[in-house]
Amino acid sequence: MSTVNESFPVKSTRRCEMIEITSQIADIVSRSGIGNGTCTVYCGHTTAAVTVNENADPSVTHDILITLGELIPKNHRSYQHAEGNSDAHVKSSLVGCSEHVLVKNGNLLLGTWQGIYFCEFDGPRNRNVSVQIRS
């Protein structure tokens, strides 16, 4: 049994943005030397999230961000939080701050079209992603 912890920075450049982080995580899996186990990707921010979705056609992430933005508007008469980013907190809890991908034969067991994304909902900011691989 073995556990490897690493983290890496992510820099967002827009308010809302899905940034693919699959290759950074695949590198950590590879360096870990772990063949079979679980990979947990954790985001320690309350206005961001982590998700898995299609990485073949960039219009998919465009449509996800557009839809979330229409469902959860930036400004709303009922918001009490004074920082103007209540929408980002809601999106964070709906998408979730962690993802888990299985590791098999030293590789992330992602589906054919799946990539791992850091979701920025209140950027641009300097963010950090934690990764734990466990055999």
Enclosing H/E stretch for 117 = strand 114-120
Q: What is the 3-state secondary structure (H, E, C) of 21-64?
A: CHHHHHHHHHHHCCCCEEEEEEECCCCEEEEEEECCCCHHHHHH
In the bound state with a copy of itself, the residue whose beta carbon lies nearer, of 33 and 102, is: 102
If binding is defined by CB under 8 A, does position 110 make contact with a copy of itself? yes
End-to-end CA distance of the chain: 5
Please, which of residues 50-69 interact with a copy of itself by CB under 8 A?
A: 51-54, 57, 59-60, 62-64, 66-68
Q: How far is the CB of 10 from a copy of itself (least distance, A)?
A: 13
CB atoms closer than 10 angstroms to residue 31: 11
Contacts with a copy of itself, residue ranges (CB under 8 A): 1, 3, 5, 36-38, 40, 42-46, 51-54, 57, 59-60, 62-64, 66-68, 70-72, 76, 78-83, 86-87, 89-90, 92-102, 104, 109-114, 130, 132, 134-135
